[in-house]
Amino acid sequence: MSTLSPVASDYAIAISEEHEAFRKAVREFAEKEVAPVAQKIDRENQMDMRLVKRAAELGLFGIPFPEEYGGGSGDDLSLVLATEEIARFSAAFSAVVGATYLVSTPIFLFGNEEQKRKYLVPIAKGEKLAAHAMTEPGTGSDVAAIKTNAQKKGDRYVINGKKMFITNGDKADVFLIFARTSPIEGSKRHHGVTAFIAEKGMSGLTVGQRTEVIGLRGDQPVELVMENLEVPETNIVGEIGRGVRIALTCYDHGRVGVAAQGTGLAQAALEAALNYSTQRQTFDNYLLSYQQVQFKIAEMTAAVHTARLLTYWAATLTKKGKDFIKASSIAKIVATEAAEKNAHMAMLIMGAAGVSTDMQVERILRDSQIIKTYEGTNDIQRLTIMKEVAKEMGVVG
């Protein structure tokens, strides 16, 4: 997918009847079961675990994986459609589902057969939740700078360190923990990080304090503390010292899901503004009759369609097996910022109702700040896009 000499077929998006049937099923679940409790989840800052059980029954934790590994044999586009529909009502609940893929996807792509049978199958079936543990107190976007270390001891590794902002950390049964197995050496700073699978209940693994953040209330991140956590050597995912590659590949896929969250939130803000402007009257006229409101609705509509097309495009490229790194970064930027923009415009249209905590719109604005930040901040995505363009031009390797 070249920026300077694009091929028309790279922009083809094909949504099958199967995709639409699946979207309809998820939409029905979201409207009937997620929507009624979304505000309660946010207000009480506590996830409704009944929804997790229902999502498992619907197969939402294993959408793109083969049936032999407990999946639904779908694709990334199917996962995007499901994420969008769920995030339309609860971005927090969509994060519970989405964060699990940050463990199941790398196990599927890089794990061995034993690891897939032991860990991927129950995660894909929704029998076990999972958490991806990379971020540390002093390390965010620069994943190669992590300081959590793992020392070999016989046929095991002893891990010590602390992780921060771990989504699902307080709910997970399985953890994918990244630790440094060799020190940073000059320009090869991305070498020496290894991915380990750990399980809830292992001695030395403790869930620390929860970090209260403004959005995704109901799925607040936590810290993980590893104090002489012993993990079997057989729980290493992929090659020793190549964990950064595993993580970055995982994030490339995950960004498309975040874009889907942004699209769902942008859609929800548009719907809220439309519903309000067709019901609220001022000076004996409905709000929608005023041109300044019409212009805002038009811009919100354009933002939703742009976000959706770019998200579906990025998901389609992953399905085709083509280079989608740049596409996923573009989609993430546009969709998450569309969510923020639409929430703000909905507030301007709705006035006091827009900023009321009893309404969905202020929650959408808060949630948009989180999705702009995780899976690589949007400024990091801009750097990623530029690096990809530079590679195309032969400027950098």
Return the percentage of the chain with pLDDT > 90, whole number. 83
pLDDT in tens, 113-144: 999 999 999 999 999 999 999 999 988 778 88
Cα–Cα distance between 315 and 207 in angstroms, integer? 34
Cα–Cα distance between 182 and 187 in angstroms, integer? 14
Average pLDDT rounded to a whole number, residues 248-276: 95
| Four-residue CA torsion sign, 79, 381, 391, 242 | negative
Contact present, 142 and 134 (Cβ < 8 Å):
no
Helix (H), strand (E) at residue 227: strand 222-232
Give 256-291 as a DSSP string: HHHHHHHHHHHHHHHHHHHHHHTT-EETTEEGGGSH
CA torsion 53-363-167-95 (nearest 10°) is 50
Give 156-209 as a DSSP string: EEEEEEEEEEETTTTT-SEEEEEEESS---TT-TTTTEEEEEEETT-TTEEEEE
Superfamily name with CATH number, domain 8-129? Acyl-CoA dehydrogenase/oxidase, N-terminal domain (1.10.540.10)
Strand partners, 328: none
pLDDT in tens, 313-346: 999 998 777 778 999 999 999 999 999 999 999 9
Q: Please indicate whether the domains covering 8-129 and 131-241 agree at the CATH topology level.
A: no
Contact present, 156 and 230 (Cβ < 8 Å):
yes
Give the pLDDT of residue 376.
Answer: 87
Give the pLDDT of residue 186.
Answer: 64
Cα–Cα distance between 335 and 303 in angstroms, integer? 8
The architecture (CATH level 2) of 131-241 comes to Beta Barrel (2.40)
pLDDT in tens, 156-213: 999 999 999 999 999 999 999 999 999 877 667 778 999 999 999 999 999 999 999 9
**How many residues appear in the chain?**
397
Average pLDDT rounded to a whole number, residues 358-371: 95
Return the percentage of the chain with pLDDT > 70, whole number. 98
User: With 70 as the cut, is the pLDDT of residue 38 above it?
Assistant: yes
3-state secondary structure of 150: strand
Give the pLDDT of residue 46.
Answer: 95
Cα–Cα distance between 65 and 57 in angstroms, integer? 15
The amino acid sitting at 144 is: A
Q: pLDDT averaged over the chain?
A: 93
Rounded to 5 degrees, φ, ψ at 324 are -125, 10
Cα–Cα distance between 54 and 1 in angstroms, integer? 38
Contact present, 106 and 246 (Cβ < 8 Å):
yes
Give the pLDDT of residue 293.
Answer: 95
Catalytic residue among 362, 375, 388, 392: 375
Which of these, 198, 115, 116, 127, lies nearest to 156 by C-alpha position?
198
Strand partners, 131: 175
Average pLDDT rounded to a whole number, residues 22-34: 97
Contact present, 152 and 206 (Cβ < 8 Å):
no
Strand partners, 223: none
Widest Cα–Cα separation across the chain: 79
Please compute Rg for the chain using Cα positions: 21
Which of these, 220, 135, 138, 208, lies nearest to 176 by C-alpha position?
135
Cβ neighbors of 101 (< 8 A, separation 6 or more) are: 61, 79, 253, 254, 257
Strand partners, 242: 193
Using a 10 angstrom Cβ sphere, with 0-12 exposed, 13-18 middle and 19 or more buried, the burial of residue 248 is middle
Cα–Cα distance between 33 and 55 in angstroms, integer? 10
Give the pLDDT of residue 396.
Answer: 62
CATH number of 245-392: 1.20.140.10
Catalytic residue list contains 375:
yes
User: With 80 as the cut, is the pLDDT of residue 351 above it?
Assistant: yes
Strands 130-133 and 174-180: parallel
Give the pLDDT of residue 193.
Answer: 94
> Taking the model in full, what pTM does it have?
0.94
Cα 303 to Cα 183, 343, 360: the distances in Å are 45, 11, 19
Q: Where are the domains of the chain?
A: 8-129, 131-241, 245-392
Which of these, 351, 362, 349, lies nearest to 293 by C-alpha position?
349
Strand partners, 196: 177, 236
